[in-house]
Amino acid sequence: MTQEKVEQTLQSILQDVAKIKARQQTDHNRIEENKALIRPLITQLERLATNFEHLISQVRGSNERMDKIVDNNEIRLKSQGERIGNVETDLENVRQSVINISDLEDRIKKIETKGAKRWESIIEKIILLAVGAIVMYFLARFGL
């Protein structure tokens, strides 16, 4: 190989090395630019992560409170259901009492009408006796 070829090869290698260094510098600059762009994003993501953790904690607390509220409401509904059952039983008892009172009213009316019928019967007999006595008086007076 000749010296000229060696020098050309070295020159070519040096140019390639210079191109590589230039690319490395460009890549390094791009990396630094990207780092500068990414750093604020990372900071925002960290803040968001902290906010999300706080929100998740609040949601868990809310869920626990809602579970307690639901449990309390279930207990209240069960109690109200029992009360409604008691009211229905009481209402049925009142209906039976009303029916019994109606029966008693009917019996009392029958008893009252029996007494009135007895008095009517007694008065009717007294009137018949009075009329009979008057008729007998006139018959006896006229001699018949």
What is the distance, to the nearest Å, from the Cα of residue 27 to the centroid of all Cα atoms in its chain?
64
pLDDT of 144 higher than 80: no
Give, in degrees to the nearest 5, the angle at Cα 47 between 41 and 52: 120
Q: What is the pLDDT of residue 49?
A: 92
Residue 100 token pair? 């019994």
- Alpha-carbon gap, residue 78 to 86, rounded angstroms: 12
- Confidence band (pLDDT; 50, 70, 90) for 50? very high
Minimum mean pLDDT range among 61-65, 86-90, 115-119, 129-133? 115-119
The H-assigned helical ranges of the chain are 3-142
- Alpha-carbon gap, residue 52 to 56, rounded angstroms: 6
Give, in degrees to the nearest 5, the angle at Cα 121 between 115 and 125: 145
- Alpha-carbon gap, residue 126 to 124, rounded angstroms: 5
pLDDT tens-digit readout, 1-38: 588 888 888 898 889 888 999 899 998 999 898 888 89
pTM of the model: 0.39
For 2: left if phi > 0, alpha if psi spans -120 to 50, otherwise beta; the answer is: beta
pLDDT of 128 higher than 80: yes
Question: What does residue 129 show for φ and ψ, rounded to 5 degrees?
Answer: -65, -45
Q: What is the pLDDT of residue 1?
A: 59
Q: What is the pLDDT of residue 54?
A: 92
CA torsion angle 103 109 115 119 (round to 10): -160
Q: What is the pLDDT of residue 44?
A: 93
pLDDT of 143 higher than 80: no
pLDDT tens-digit readout, 67-126: 898 888 888 888 888 888 888 898 888 888 888 888 888 888 887 777 777 778 888 888
- Alpha-carbon gap, residue 125 to 132, rounded angstroms: 10
